[in-house]
Amino acid sequence: MCRLSPGAIENVHLEGKHSMFDPRDPYERYYWHYESRRPLSMAQIIALGSVDAKTAALIWLLLENGSSLTVAGPTDPQPGVGKTTTLNALLQFLPEGTSLAYMAGMYENFAFTNIPDIAPKTTYALCNEVSDHLPIYMWGRVARRYLTLPAKGYHIATSVHADTIDDVMRMYQRTLRVGPEDTRRLGLVVNIGLVGRLYPPRRRWFSTHFIQPNVNPDKPEAVEPLPLSLWNQVDDTFLYADQAILDDLANWIGISSQQFATEVTRRTEFLEEISQGSGLDQEEMFEAVAQFREQQP
């Protein structure tokens, strides 16, 4: 059972075995933990210093080219860490024409995969969280089936409780028993958390990784997350991937390294501009991103 949202904007009802969740209803989206109390745009998140424009630009380019996404937050239950807010903000970077299939936690029956009119290539299966905390989240065999959807051409976007990239990989591979081939299709992993002891708490994106989709011939069973951006606690800045990794990303997208660098720079400059002051809100940013895409060469 799921509900589908075409274009990542308008919600339409899909008939399924269960009918307890309708994402067209803002209250239900909040109740099912698909929306946060204080939604923020990516421009506002950058303006707050949680992440920098270049890191967001790298993620944008990968999402625009079909990468799946996991947003990971601390295992120590800290309210307001921002997993849901971050996930929703990043959804604005999905390709135009993308449909969102909202998962129904442990009640999900994946009926949407049998609907002829749904194109896997343009569909993101959105899960509020992969964890065993609540029935509205996914765990066990249901989560394992969800995480293998990219093998059928779908993309996924979800959140998890995990302190580091190693913890995310351990959860996916060991706890949920997702095989190496399927894990390599899971794309981006963003680890976020709270820093400092002041109130209100400061949020930072500790690391951004992209799971290497290609098999290492020397380690055929290995799954290798590539570091794209790492937060430097000493001076509160971000360190970026080296050129070899960026070349790998360009190859995955199917463009030249020079074109990849140009596209990242264009998006970085755009995000820096719209993040001035307190940053554009969600609606303003949606319109700004649409205009940016219209102006693409």
Enumerate the β-bridge partners of residue 220.
none
User: Residue 179: which pLDDT band, with cuts at 50, 70 and 90?
Assistant: very high
**Model pLDDT, residue 27:** 79
Give φ, ψ of 281 to 5 degrees.
-80, -175
Nearest to residue 203, comparing CAs of 92, 86, 94? 86
* Fold that domain 2-39+68-242 belongs to in CATH: Rossmann fold (3.40.50)
Lowest mean pLDDT among 74-78, 163-167, 200-204, 223-227: 74-78
User: Measured between alpha carbons, how far apart are the two ends of the chain, in Å?
Assistant: 40
**Radius of gyration, alpha carbons of the chain:** 18
Write out the two tokens for 211: 């799971």
3-state helix, strand, coil in the chain (%, to 5): 40, 20, 40
The DSSP secondary structure of 188-252, one letter per residue, reads EEEEEEEESSSSSPEEEEEEEEEE--S-BTTBTT---EEEEEEEETTTTEEEE--HHHHHHHHHH
Mean pLDDT of the chain: 89
**Model pLDDT, residue 4:** 46
pLDDT in tens, 96-147: 889 999 999 999 999 999 988 889 999 999 999 999 988 889 999 999 999 9
**Model pLDDT, residue 80:** 64
**Model pLDDT, residue 22:** 76
The more confident residue out of 15 and 97 is 97
Give me the helix-helix angle, 257-274 and 243-253, nearest 10°. 100
**Beta carbons of 55 and 229 less than 8 angstroms apart:** yes
Write out the two tokens for 145: 């089936």
Please report, for residues 74, 191, 290, the alpha-carbon distance to residue 175 in angstroms, rounded to integers and kept in the order given.
17, 19, 40
**Model pLDDT, residue 82:** 87
**Model pLDDT, residue 81:** 78
**Model pLDDT, residue 205:** 97
pLDDT in tens, 19-76: 567 777 877 878 788 888 888 999 999 999 999 999 999 999 999 999 999 999 988 7
Write out the two tokens for 232: 């430097």
**Model pLDDT, residue 28:** 80
Q: Rounded mean pLDDT of 269-276?
A: 97
Break the chain into its structural domains and give their ranges: 2-39+68-242
Give φ, ψ of 86 to 5 degrees.
-65, -45
**Model pLDDT, residue 155:** 97
Residue type, 143: A
